[in-house]
Amino acid sequence: MYLQETLAKSPRWEAWMELIELFTGLFLLVFLQFHMLAVATIILGPAAFNRDALMLDEYYLSYIGIPLVILAIIVHGLVALRKAPWRYKEMAIFIQHSRRLAHLDTWAWFVQIITGMAVLILAAIHIWNTLSTWPIEAAKSAFRIQSGSFSNLFLLLLIAEIHAMVGLYRILVKWSWIHRQKFTKWLVYATIGFVALGFIALVVFYFLDVKGLT
Ligand code: HEM
């Protein structure tokens, strides 16, 4: 980043931005993992999935949760992307430094920018699809997944879980709450676990008999 830009920034403003990035990121991380558990109820059968969806609707949790998630995605995206190397020259310097330093944490930030932008696009498509056929029902979700959404959702699953876990790693390292190596192992196991759960749920949706449900 150019020296002038760095010097022009107010430290108080930057501290607020860091806190907003931290809390919206943690909120989205918790949402994503609970969302995966909710989606995985399809493994127990369409009735369990529908009961869950109905409960979210009846207690107005969806009506509070969905706007909050959308707002958190927008705010988190805008705040986090303020530091991205947008200009070609900045990007070239960043890649050059990362290569020279050859340090995992510098590359982790790069991974966050790329996966973050992909999540923004894929999550927007996913939320739009979900809202356009509201209310949520197993038959509608299965139909969507069998008619082409499988690969999009699998990509979103993979990218969002990587983004969430690398983000958590960076938060913990930044605020010095962890022993890096010990914790990385547990984060990798958790990521594999949630990706496996989401993948199994997608496969169950893919083979669900939609006609039998409607
Ligand atoms: C950043 C990632 C994601 C966001 C922000 C997101 C957001 C949402 C929201 C807001 C809903 C509405 C219902 C609710 O309150 O739970 C929903 C529904 C749903 N989501 Fe996600 N989701 C994400 C990732 C995923 C992934 C990775 C999968 C699949 C493995 C998935 C599968 C579903 C399914 C099956 C539904 C039910 C409605 C439908 O079929 O569209 N979601 N999602």
Structural domain contains residue 4: no
11 backbone dihedrals φ, ψ, rounded to 5° = -60, -35
Spacing, Cα 153 to ligand 1 middle (Å): 9
Spacing, Cα 192 to ligand 1 middle (Å): 19
Q: What angle do CA 121, 141, 201 make, to 5 degrees?
A: 85
In this predicted structure, what is the pLDDT of residue 51? 97
Structural domain contains residue 1: no
In this predicted structure, what is the pLDDT of residue 7? 55
In this predicted structure, what is the pLDDT of residue 184? 85
Reading the chain (214 residues) residue by residue, the pLDDT tens digits are 555 565 566 888 889 999 999 999 999 999 999 999 999 999 999 999 999 999 999 888 899 999 999 999 999 999 998 877 777 777 777 778 777 776 777 778 888 999 999 999 999 999 999 999 999 999 999 999 999 999 999 999 999 999 999 999 888 887 776 777 778 889 999 999 999 999 999 999 999 998 887 7
Residue owning the nearest CA to atom 14 of ligand 1: 62
Structural domain contains residue 107: yes
Spacing, Cα 210 to ligand 1 middle (Å): 19
Tell me which residue of 120, 105, 104 sits closest to 24, measured CA to CA.
Answer: 120
In sequence order, the 6+-apart residues with CB closer than 8 A to the CB of 83 are: 1
Tell me which residue of 167, 172, 166, 170 sits closest to 188, measured CA to CA.
Answer: 166
In this predicted structure, what is the pLDDT of residue 213? 78
| 173 membership: H or E segment, kind and range | helix 150-174
Pocket test residue of 130, 132, 133, 206 for ligand 1, highest count of atoms within 8 A of CB: 130
Q: Which CATH number do you get for residue 155?
A: 1.20.1300.10
Q: Which residue type occupies 51? A: R
Spacing, Cα 90 to ligand 1 middle (Å): 35
Structural domain contains residue 148: yes
pTM of the model: 0.89
Q: What ligand 1 atom has the least distance to the C-alpha of 201?
A: 30
* Ligand 1, residues at Cβ distance < 6 Å: 32, 35, 38-39, 56, 62, 65-66, 69, 119, 123, 126-127, 129-130, 136, 141, 144, 153, 156-157, 160, 198, 201-202
Structural domain contains residue 5: no
**Count of domains forming the chain:** 1
Do you know the residue count of the chain?
Answer: 214
In contact, 25 and 77? CB cutoff 8 Å? no
Structural domain contains residue 78: yes
In contact, 119 and 156? CB cutoff 8 Å? yes
In this predicted structure, what is the pLDDT of residue 166? 93
Tell me which residue of 152, 164, 169 sits closest to 194, measured CA to CA.
Answer: 164
Structural domain contains residue 186: yes
Structural domain contains residue 49: yes
Spacing, Cα 146 to ligand 1 middle (Å): 16
- Domain with 130, as residue range(s), is 10-213
Sign of the alpha-carbon torsion through 58, 210, 37, 65 = negative
Spacing, Cα 64 to ligand 1 middle (Å): 15
